Structure 1
Amino acid sequence: MGAFDMLSIANTGLGAHQTWLDALGGNIANVNTIKPMTENAYQAKFVVFQPRADGGVDVAGLAQSSAEGRVTSMPDSPLADADGYVRAPDVDMASEMSQLIMAQRGYQSSVQVTKTAQDTYGSALSIGEGR
């Protein structure tokens, strides 16, 4: 594997982890979004990854949670139906926070690989300059 390959693979990791972080941020931001029973609940986004032949990773697409969500009793809500029910997203905050930590660590790892590759290139270029 060449040094430029290392940068290319790290770059795919940066993009994939950024997409994952964006999806998690949207899910966390909408965890308390309620909708009337006549509408779909907020649908959480899940990133689908796909390995590349060169060792990198691509985002194959986004999957979504059920539009049905969780039916929740909130009789005081102005969005509640006659029986006092609303739709809430089917988002597990503990799972989202765990995934957020994994996505952050993956992003940080890709940044570190990029920095190490840049340092290696800089050292290689400086060989022979000290004459």
Structure 2
Amino acid sequence: MGAFDTLRIAGSALGMHQTWLDTLAHNIANINTVRPTSEAAFRPQYVVASAQAGGGVGVARIVEGSAEGRLEQAPDNPMADAQGFVRAPDTDLASQMSQLVMAQRGFQASVQVTKQAQEEYAAALQIGRG
């Protein structure tokens, strides 16, 4: 492993976790988005991570969830159909929040690895100057 591989690998993890956090925030912000039954439901996004050649992790792709969603009874909603239904996303808030905690912890761990590597490289430079 090269001298700066630790920083490169931790940096790739930071990028992947940031993308994951962004998609989770997008999903959570739209968890109550309803649409008429004639339209597709809000489609949550899911990050698919992959290992990178030479180490590290990246975002392979972002997959969208089902456009079918679920029907909710909301007769007072102006978008409701004749039977009083609207289309809501099929997104589980508990699952999204659990994933949010995991993504935050992964991001924090990557930050710690980056800080530690920077401190070690700085110490090595000081030894070289000494």
TM-score by length of 1: 0.96
Question: In structure 2, the residue corresponding to 1:113 is in which secondary structure?
Answer: helix
In structure 1, stretches of 5+ residues that fail to align are none
Partner in structure 1 of residue 91 of structure 2 = 91
Determine what percentage of the aligned residue pairs are the same residue. 60
Distance across 2 between alignment mates of 1:70 and 1:24: 19
Q: Distance in 1 between matches of 2:128 and 2:94?
A: 54
In the TM superposition, residue 129 of structure 1 has moved relative to its aligned partner by: 3.4
Structure 1 residue ranges (4+ consecutive) displaced by more than 6 angstroms after TM superposition: none
Alignment length (residue pairs):
130
Partners of 1:44 and 1:65 within 8 A in 2: yes
Q: What is the distance in 2 between the residues matched to 1:7 and 1:94?
A: 33
Q: Cα distance, 1:65 vs. partner?
A: 0.9
Counterpart code for 2:35: K
Q: Secondary structure at the match of 1:127?
A: helix
Match of 2:16 in 1: 16
Q: Spell out, residue by residue over 1:54-75, the C-alpha distance to the aligned partner (whole angstroms, 9 max, x if none).
A: 2211101111111010111111
Query: Which runs of no fewer than 5 residues in structure 2 stay unpaired?
Result: none
TM-score (norm 2): 0.96
> Match of 1:58?
58
**SS, match of residue 79 in structure 1:** coil
Q: Distance in 1 between matches of 2:6 and 2:109?
A: 12
Q: Distance in 1 between matches of 2:55 and 2:128?
A: 32
Deviation at 1:2, TM superposition (A): 2.7
- Which digits, 9 at most, give the CA deviation of each residue in 1:58-115, with x for residues without a partner? 1011111110101111111101000000000111000000000000000001111110
Structure 2 CA distance for partners of 1:64 and 1:128, relative to 1, 3 Å: closer
Give the aligned CA root-mean-square deviation in angstroms: 0.9
